[in-house]
A and B are shown apart, each in its own frame.
Chain A
Amino acid sequence: MKVRPLVGFWGGPAAVFGVALAARVALIFYGLYQDRTLVVKFTDIDYRVFTDGARLVMEGRSPYRRATYRYTPLLAWLLTPNISLSELFGKFLFVSCDLLTGFLMFRLLLLTGLSPSRACGYSSWWLLNPLPLVVSSRGNAESLIAALVLTALYLLERRNVVWAALVYGLAVHMKVYPVTYLLPIALYLQTASGELEKDRSKSRVWGLARRLWNRDVLLFGVVAGLTFFTLGLVFYYRYGWEFLEHTYLYHLTRRDIRHNFSPYFYMLYLTAESKWSFSLGLAAFLPQLLLLVVVSFAYYRDLAFCCFLHTAIFVSFNKVCTSQYFLWYLCLLPLVMPQMRMSWKRAILLLGLWFMGQALWLAPAYFLEFQGKNTFLLIWLAGLLFLFINCYILIQIISHYQLGKLAKKIKSQ
């Protein structure tokens, strides 16, 4: 999609970042006001959980004393200034990560050869987008992960493998979903096929294995693995089994049967206590896994696009899906947009379809939750429709994507 350089008119990147910062800060202070005056709070419940966890670690206790604290203790440690300085510290931290994410997008787009004004135009899809704006000001930590993922991608682009691995290991420690990027990253770091001496071996798999056995891939694997396991061991030593249970196991085995966007929701609710529950869960996992592997091999040369597809597929086919998860791939969308040869009309149609899919789900969900009507079948059908819509959008993105300058640039390295 071509973005006309409107941005040049009104001051360029500085203006966009300025507006983005101002809007977020304004919302933080508005949130302060709403929390004090209305019963319905602006601040997300998660933020209260983080703050309570921080309070506990300051007292030298385990943050897992706090019910529903299901994150790494690192987050509680990071937010201790919430207690010592001001309760707004965390929100300002998340807002900064938000802006950092936007900045990294901007830099990554510049690296692909876009002009600053165009790069800024695409980055403003994140910076001026209401969803990340509201999410960060409400105190959700999603922007932290987004910043870490984009930092890792940026460092990989600069071929700074050790630092990229460190940041990546940290990201996986904090939230498990970036672990799916391991295969594309390994493929991305492989030796270009021209560099090895002519491979006479018959097997392509053997050829691939040889190309993967190089300094960068090994370095990345070792450093990322060390980072992840060191952090894990330190916190396991300090907080015990609770750390593993709440930070990882809960998310991996989560059986939240309450209604959510996932197409599997009703199936899992009906089979929750039956003997089929485990095999169905596994069966649901297989299409996801297969797709992720195929996408990795198809698009690893364009790492940002590959990661975007990975996460979009992962979220759409996941057993639990809430609107918070959309941010995980939204932060990669501006990196993908320059390469898309799609008319504005089509893009707006797809966006409209996406919102419509959510609206069609929210309507029966409202009737179930607030009116007590039995709309389970409708919610299930809406979930299936939303999956269809997401897949259609992904297929449109895939078919209109041009492995353009970025891939050519990498191939020529």
Chain B
Amino acid sequence: IAGVLTWATLLKVSHGHCLLCFSCLVTLVFVSPLPQFIYIIPKPSSFRLRSLTSNHISNLSMDLRLPSKVLEHILSFVDSNEDRNSVSLVCKSWFETERRTRKRVFVRNCYAVTPEAVARRFPETRSLTLKGKPHFADYNLVPDGWGGYAWPWIEAMAAKCPSLEELRLKRMVVTDECLEKIAASFKDFKVLVLTSCEGFSTDGLAAIAVACRNLRELELRECIVEDIGGDWLSYFPETLTSLVSLDFSCLDSEVKLSDLERLLSRSPNLKSLKLNRAVSLDALGSLLRLAPQLVELGTGSFSDKLDQEAVAKLSQAFSELKELKSLSGLWDVLPEYIPLLYSVCPGLTSLNLSYATVQMSDLVELITGCSNLQKLWVMDLIEDKGLEVVASSCKELRELRVFPSGAEGLNDTNVAMTEQGLVSVSEGCPNLESVLYFCVQFTNAAMVTIARNRPNLTCFRLCVMEPFAPDHKTQQPLDEGFKAIVERCKDLQRLSVSGLLTDKAFEYIGTHGKKLRMLSIAFAGDSDLMLHHLLSGCESLNKLEIRDCPFGDTALLENAAKLETMRSLWMSSCCVSFGACKLLSPKMPKLNVEVIDEHPLETRPDSSPVERIYIYRTLAGPRLDMPEFVWTIQKNPEIGVSHLAIK
């Protein structure tokens, strides 16, 4: 370790500027304004420097001990938390300086570390981002009451970091008390973004509205809110003029139009406005006239009957939106109103039609006009033919998501989205890197073509909606198709697989998916080999989530060490036995092994499978807010020892 640090090379430079450059490969280079040296130090790898002690520091050349003021100044240019994490590992004084100057903290698993520890370490932080429940909670696979409570975090931050200005929470339980506490504790609170959260009502929003005098952003993205009424909007004081972004698209109740109009009139900086469905098309016209500077617009319902004059006025209002880059909402849109949008199409980089139940023929002209589109979310009503239009018109497309129109699943589809659509887009759109695609059938040949066309894919999430669906032409498993994807798309970071898959598919993924960070699997594979391939092969694997696959114990226990290098592993309805869970826990103290099972475990034999297991690495130890149906070896030690005979 000492060798790493004495590698410092000294060069004299005559410039007085502070120049900072962190290469992602090896070197950390910076120039201090005084005494004007360039230091080149290899980027500290956490593995090598973790055991650095003060003995080593005394061996360092004097030049590395920068005055903390200088280091602070240098660090003010360092935004990336990854780099900051590296800086903090160089030595104690750097750790101290870094932690006191970090302004933005990301905690990607709220149970990986305690709120107190975070608040203590970063007292000056202005922004906190937290994620709570595992991803599969989105699909109702995590029972209510599992956890992910925001309260302890808000309490801790209120006590130690009163200058907090921004809070971004995803998949957490947020109560009205939490919102009231935020309103009361952070004097300069500016940004609240809640994604897929639940537990609060519109009363909590009123508390935020009334108290946060410098509020800039209030965004509720797909939250489940107890909607008591639309009054909350009227609580924004007349003195509030700083609003930049407002998103209440997930609320049901109608807000008073006059309140909204007044708010818009006094918000000259408003760039993003996402209305809820209750805002009528008629109202939209007057709102747009008050905010022609909008960059992002989410409309309300797009289906009133308007008279000719109203339509003309609305059309005019849309054409005044010269800055508009993003369009969403469009609930219930009637085909005859789609032409209203034509004027904004050329400027759009993002279009979300995923709630617009229009048929393909109504969309064609709209899509043709969107020549600068980078992100398109649409329903499968667009059909393969519509995606051909996308392929020929939207040459800048980077992200495509196609959602199923049948909410109740396979039997409800109006249309049959096939592999053809995606193949067309992969051919026509050279910048396509992210795909989420729901469809009824696929083929290996199509995936091979897509991989060949688009080796630049970074995210490929394919959902063939019927479980175990084979290649519909050859009736073979989709192994070869996914092999092509992972082989050719060398930068693939996120993958979701579906259809009929054998262990071979996962052997390929393990062999080639070296940059894969997140992997989602359902109804696939044949045996433990599958899990073994993944855990032993995918070096960068960070999050793995699996449901309804036939494997468990052996692969899990053999690759237990891998789990500490990952953020989390989720397995539900697989073959993980209770005994294996008991064996795993004491082996890996830095992991929380949670068995989530709604049937009592006390009388469960070791060999019986558990419903769900959620394993995540943590510094905080077992959490204190576990409900009855979550079992860990620490919480229920009486069910402790495994009698399972495993090699």
| Interaction A to B | no
